[in-house]
Structure 1
Amino acid sequence: MGVGLFQATSNGSDIDSHLSRIIEEAKKLRELSWCVSVVVVSDDPVALLTFSERSLESQFIVWSTRLLVVTHLRPGELSRLHESLSKMNAMVMTLRHEQKHTSCSFYVHMPYSPAGEETVQVASWDSAHGLVLRGHLPVFPEKYSRLRHRAEIVVAAEEYPPHAFVLLLGGLDGRGQPRFTITGPMVKLLDILATSMNFTYTYVRPPDGAWGAKQPDGSFSGMVGMLSRKEADIGLGPFGVSASRAEVVDYTGFIVIDYARIIGGRGRAEVDPWGFLLPLAPKVWLGVAAMTALAMATAAVLTGLSERFSPGRRSAGLCFSVVRVLLFQGECELPHVYVNTESAFAMKAELNYAQDAKVPPGRRWERVLLAGWMIVTLVTVKSYAGNLMSLLAVRHIPQPYQSVRDVLDDPACTMIWETNNAYIQYMNSLTSGTFYEVAEAGRNGRIIYRRSTDFMEAVDTLVRKGDHVLMVEDLTARVFLGKDVSSSGRCDFYLSRDVFLPFIFAMTGQKNSPFVPALNRRIRAVTESGLYNHWMQGAIPNSTTCANAPSKITVHTTLGLSNLWLMFAILLGGHVISVIVLLLEIFWNKMK
């Protein structure tokens, strides 16, 4: 336990500066301590008023700090201190000396009190009776846990599906602004807080429609700026928690954890021109190529050995017969035997060939080699043909943007981000990395900034075309997808597989607002019970309908050039190459 003693002896006009210096020194001590109680002794109402105001402005006295003001002044003489003392965990002890008898009374300044009821006596003390509590309030009561007098507070709010939805009521209010109301899970949470804490509320929307980001001049835009200027008491949100915003507002306990995703337009079903390669996996294609090379090498080695020990019996065409069997190229020739490869791919024809073929003595190894290769080719080609007929009916639905890197690598793609939110603030503070590149892309004109109320229109017009993507929270994205499928009956959009930029979301209050600790306990009870998640799921209709929409579909239609054009292109390319090789052979023969 430590004690710090500070004394202000200045009088006159310099009391303000003198107290400010003392408060700054005392604040350093408070920041190094876990639990602090501050006792101020003064009979000067000007000094007490200056101290209370400077303590709030400098954040020296926070709600966790208990303040005891000891004075001989009567409660009526401290009326100017009511606004500041009502926002502190503070109590006033007034002393009275009567002959040899000393007594004191303890008063608390209650918030949102009508005139004449600003202070409430909670205890008294004298030498005869000791400390006596007055009424049901304890010493240093939790006066914001439930307000003694019903208060009317201002709540800054804006549309944020699925947490809050703005409904326009038509007409204008007293300030000439369109009349509106807010619905959604956050409003249900706010109603619970209002009932349990005894307050009513009115909504105000930010003029710029933004949540709030730090501006170059140090001020904040949007609802965060309204709280910092004390134009609102609570920010409904929920707001993404960030260090820059925490400079001017206080966050409540977290309400939800969410992360960003990409909404892209699902393309039309397309034919994959490389579909004829899909019946076999890449490893199978590699295996077929390796087995073909192995069969040709074996034929070449055995042919060499055969010619060495049996001169005059050449079998140079056997290597090419391996390839001809694989490619269905007419008849393959064994010595004195002709085999039709088309019939050889049927097992019965294979057996007939084995029975009828007459192979000269000493050449049976050729028959064994080629027959084994035909069996391997039979299984492979039949499997390929069966799968190919099925895959030619498959249509692929393009979903090209599955990560932030995919978007950055496509210069033709434009991103849509919410204006002045925590994501933009974070990215603008970076000096390297993927999201620094996103910020650079924005400075190069590849980002369009929209208010949250304009997102649905942007999805329906820009994102649907396929050359724009919306970067938004996962829960909000599911609302847009659900609305689209409810109105159109189709899944025209998709969500990226990758998620990024996780954020904790919470309500906000003014800096050092005593409302925040009182709100925390109730918010924790609602979130831990799962009630808020239940409300949120009910606010997202058809949220799972398009969550796992297939990227491939099958159709029943005739095959056209769009299905097979690449195979014709390969055929044409083969003919061009063969002509070039023929010309080279003619040229070579003439040169020889």
Structure 2
Amino acid sequence: MVIHLTLFLYMVLASLCDGLLPASLPRSGEEKMLPVLHEVVGTVLDAQCSIFIVTNGNTTATTISKFLRRNASPRGVGVFEVPGSDYSPRTTGGKELQEVIQTARKLRESSWCVNVVVLSDDPAFLASFAESSLRGRLLVWATRLLVVTRLPLQELRQLYQALSLTNSALLVLGQDLLFASVYVQLPYRPSSGQLQKVASWSSRGGLVLQQQVFPDKFSRFPEGASLTVAAEEYIPHVEVVESPGPPFSFIGPMANLLDILAKSMNFTYSFQRPPDGAWGGRLPDGSYNGMVGMVSRKEVDLGLGPFGMSTVRAAVVDFTKPILIDYARILGGKGRAEIDPWGFLLPLTPEVWAGLAALGLLVILTVALLSYLSGQRLPGRGSRNLYFAVVRTLLIQDAKVPKGRRWERVLLAGWMIVTLVTVKSYAGNLMSLLAVRHIPQPYQSVRDVLDDASCTMIWEANTAYVQFVESVSSGTFHEVSKAGEAGRILYKKSTQYQDAIDSFVRSRPYVLILEDLTHKVLMGQDFSNTGRCDFYTSRELFLPFIFAMIGQKNHPLVPALNKRITAITEAGLYTHWVEATIPNSTTCARPPSKITVTSSLSLANLWGMFALLLGGQVLGMLMLALEISIHWLSC
């Protein structure tokens, strides 16, 4: 829905108000201004867009109404007047200007497209409007701005920054209104840089276009540009290369991406590392530290990253198109190979043990039932020996069956076949399992870490992960935050990862919680140095984050970068660079939790069986004592 705002109070009261509005030109002079405005506006502005006219009262209502008649917009017209002489933020004029900017922004957001025409000869008003419109987001790149003034160029230097960052042009009228010039300001020029003349107008020759009035200034910098980029080491994406002198450089996939962007857009760049080594988060006082703070304060033009996207950071910086999606994992140190003394139980699963017990009980009950139905009961101990024959068969002992009980022979024969297959399989697997060593990998989820009070977590400071953990008010990660308050979280910088896994994680009970790609790099580097896989990663993936570069808030450089970043990522180049950067990335990706060894069996392997034997003997002695006691009591 397009909102049509036409403030024709000027036109209704034009004849009454001409003497009330201050005019910088006599009436005849303003009449001379209309032809140049009509031709320039009609040529360079989009005729299908709404027109917003902003003035500080130096133009009469008659001139504005005639201009609107000549340049009627099918989508509506808005006229905004901010009279006054002082437009600083705390004055009445400054507050009125802010209100006008906010109102115009709401109308711009509701309109299909907007052209803004500013008419003023007051340098203070023009400077205040430029600053307020940028801060209030009135001038987005899709909005074309035309500033019309009779001031000389040397008095308009305060507008250069705003003109360079917006889709804008400057129409400078001659004092006699017989000629005019149109200028644009290219971005990243020095503050003393001259405006570029793109068109001229004269009363005789009309409008002559020399170049495009509203060029895409950020698509490619024809005269080059020099940008400052905040960067810090973040393997495998960015790796710092130190040199003997003060200069340093970065290599890695993100450096490759930045190099392609620089060549395609024709800019050079220099790196600046954050003094605190942090990526950036919001501090208790509302400010931001790290590289996010540097970009938000406009100390640098870009943040290389890649940075995890979050609403906290998006409040002060703009993210480019996504470069990759990564997940967090737990990196833990593998324990030493341990012998399981109860390994003799492993050849059969608990379900098989339960099945054998149930099947043996079923056979005993069947024998009892068939014995009862046949009417051939064995007297005394013979009956009990028959029932225990099932157990004796399972233990590879002899079993005697009285004559004349063929059904019992058939039943026990079937039971013997089952026990024979089971026992032979058990014996073969047992010999193999006695040579198995188990490698503990206890932390497979965040819950496992939380449940072990002796385990300390290592997180990178001031990251999107930490911001999320500290912001949630319930659930597993709220418990992580509480564990941090209890001293179970150790914060490290990205440049301290290798020292952290050597000093803490390798010896346990510390775990490093980082992105999956970073874990692969650390494990690959450790394997290259030691030839061993001393670490493992958890099966659980959590905290998915989208990663991108960052730029200054509302800066048109970010949309220009997006087109190229999208092309690079869709072509698979970034993924290829990452894979090529990680050495031995798959060698330790899934290390086994069990290993086999060739060695003599020792008491460490078999003490479980001896313990079971001793337990059986103790239980037998207790049963014997119980039987004797019952016999004596019954006498």
- Structure 2-normalised TM-score? 0.83
> Could you tell me which residue of structure 2 aligns to residue 20 of structure 1?
98
In terms of mean alpha carbon deviation, does 281-290 or 514-523 score higher?
Answer: 281-290
Aligned position for 2:476: 434
Instruction: Find the aligned partners of 1:254 and 1:217 in 2 and give their Cα distance.
Output: 30
Partner of 1:252: 320
Within 2, Cα distance between the matches of 1:115 and 1:384?
85
Q: Pick from 61, 64, 84 the counterpart of residue 162 of structure 2.
A: 84
* 1:475 aligns to 2:517 (yes or no): yes
- Ranges of 4+ aligned residues in structure 1 off by more than 4 Å: 101-104, 114-117, 125-131, 308-314
CA–CA distance in structure 1, aligned partners of residues 550 and 379 of structure 2: 97
Q: 1:65 to 1:577 in 2, by over 3 A?
A: farther
Q: Give the structure 2 partner of residue 283 of structure 1.
A: 351
Alignment of 1:131-530 (within 5 A): 131-135=207-211, 138-171=212-245, 173=246, 179-307=247-375, 315-328=383-396, 330-335=397-402, 359=403, 361=404, 363-530=405-572
Q: What is the deviation of 1:132?
A: 3.3
1:106 aligns with 2:174: no
* 2:580 corresponds to: 538
Give 3-state SS (helix, strand or coil) of 1:68's partner.
Answer: strand
Structure 1 counterpart SS, 2:437: strand
Change (3 A) 1:549 1:311: closer
Structure 1 residues 331, 311: closer, same or farther in 2, change over 3 A?
closer
Q: 1:314 to 1:457 in 2, by over 3 A?
A: closer
Q: Deviations over 1:257-294 (max 9, x none)?
A: 11111111111111223321221233322221121011
**Counterpart residue identity of residue 483, structure 1:** Q
Q: Secondary structure at the match of 2:419?
A: helix
> 1:483 Cα deviation (Å)?
0.4
CA contact (8 A) 1:306 1:313 kept: no
Q: 1:87 to 1:162 in 2, by over 3 A?
A: same
Deviation for aligned residue 1:134: 0.6
**Change in CA separation of 1:199 and 1:365 when aligned onto 2, cut-off 3 Å:** same
Compared CA separation, residues 534 and 309, structure 1 to 2 (3 A): closer
**Residues 301 and 117 from structure 1, CA distance in 2 versus in 1: closer, same or farther, beyond 3 angstroms?**
same
Aligned to 2:629: 587
Give the SS at the match of 1:6.
strand
Answer yes or no: is the 8 Å Cα contact 1:71–1:95 preserved in 2: yes
Q: Secondary structure at the match of 1:46?
A: helix
Which string of whole-angstrom CA distances, capped at 9 and with x for unpartnered residues, describes residues 57-87 of structure 1?
A: 2333233332222223343331221122211
Q: Cα offset for 1:97?
A: 7.5
**Kindly, what percent of the aligned residue pairs are identical?**
59
CA contact (8 A) 2:157 2:191 kept: no
**Per the alignment, do residues 284 and 127 of structure 1 end up closer, same or farther by CA in structure 2, a change over 3 Å counting?**
farther
- Residue aligned with 2:332, SS: strand
**Unaligned residue ranges in structure 2 (runs of 5+):** 5-76
Q: CA deviation at 1:123?
A: 2.6
The letter for the 1-side match of 2:141 is: W
Q: Find the aligned partners of 1:432 and 1:545 in 2 and give their Cα distance.
A: 38
Q: Which residue is equivalent to 1:347?
A: none
Give the deviation of 1:125 after TM superposition: 4.6
Q: Deviation of residue 130 (structure 1)?
A: 5.5
> Does the 8 Å contact 1:307/1:313 carry over to 2?
no
Distance 2:581 2:382 in 1: 82
Q: Which has the higher contact order (CA 8 A, sep 6+)?
A: 1
Q: Deviations over 1:429-481 (max 9, x none)?
A: 10111111111111111110000000111011211012111011111111101
Give distance in 2, aligned partners of 1:391 and 1:530: 46
Residue 576 of structure 1 aligns with an amino acid whose one-letter code is V
User: Could you tell me how far apart the structure 1 residues matched to 2:564 and 2:286 are?
Assistant: 33
What displacement does 1:511 show? 0.9
From the superposition, tell whether residues 116 and 154 of structure 1 become closer, same or farther in structure 2 (CA, over 3 Å).
closer
CA distance in 1, matches of 2:112, 2:631: 98
Q: Deviations over 1:281-318 (max 9, x none)?
A: 33322221121011010011122223468999963321
Give the whole-Å Cα distance in 1 for the aligned partners of 2:112 and 2:515.
37
Q: 1:70 aligns with which of 148, 154, 158?
A: 148
Instruction: Provide, for residues 308-357 of structure 1, a one-character-per-residue CA deviation record: whole Å limited to 9, x for no partner.
Output: 689999633211111121123x443333xxxxxxxxxxxxxxxxxxxxxx
Displacement of 1:7 in angstroms is 1.5
Q: Distance in 2 between matches of 1:113 and 1:213?
A: 31
The CA RMSD measured in Å over matched residues stands at 2.2
Distance 1:103 1:313 in 2: 130
Q: Structure 1 residues 382 and 234, CA, compared in 2 at 3 Å: closer, same or farther?
A: same
Please report how far the alpha carbon of residue 117 of structure 1 lies from its aligned counterpart in structure 2 after TM superposition: 4.3
Q: What amino acid sits opposite 2:164 in the alignment?
A: S
Q: Report the equivalent of 1:40.
A: 118
Alpha-carbon distance change, 314 to 387 in structure 1, aligned in 2, over 3 angstroms? closer
Measured in 2, the distance between the counterparts of 1:116 and 1:411 equals 63
Give the match's secondary structure for 2:156: helix
Q: Where does the alignment leave 5 or more consecutive residues of structure 1 unmatched?
A: 174-178, 336-358
Deviations 1:36-68 (A, max 9, x none): 432222221110100111222233323333222
User: Is contact 1:154–1:202 with CA below 8 Å preserved after alignment?
Assistant: yes
- For residue 4 of structure 1, give the secondary structure of its aligned residue in structure 2: strand
Alpha-carbon deviations, 1:90-145, whole Å to 9, x = none?
112234585xx86543211122335764311223456766553213xx22111122
Structure 1 contact 162–184 (Cα < 8 Å) conserved:
yes
Equivalent residue pairs, number: 556
Given residue 105 of structure 2, which amino acid in structure 1 is its aligned partner?
A: K
**Using a 3 Å threshold, how does the CA distance of structure 1 residues 132 and 289 change in structure 2: closer, same or farther?**
farther
Of residues 133, 140, 143 in structure 2, which corresponds to 1:55?
Answer: 133
- Structure 1 residues 225 and 311: CA distance shift in structure 2, 3 A: closer
Corresponding position of 1:559? 601
Partners in 1 of 2:105 and 2:486 — Cα distance? 45
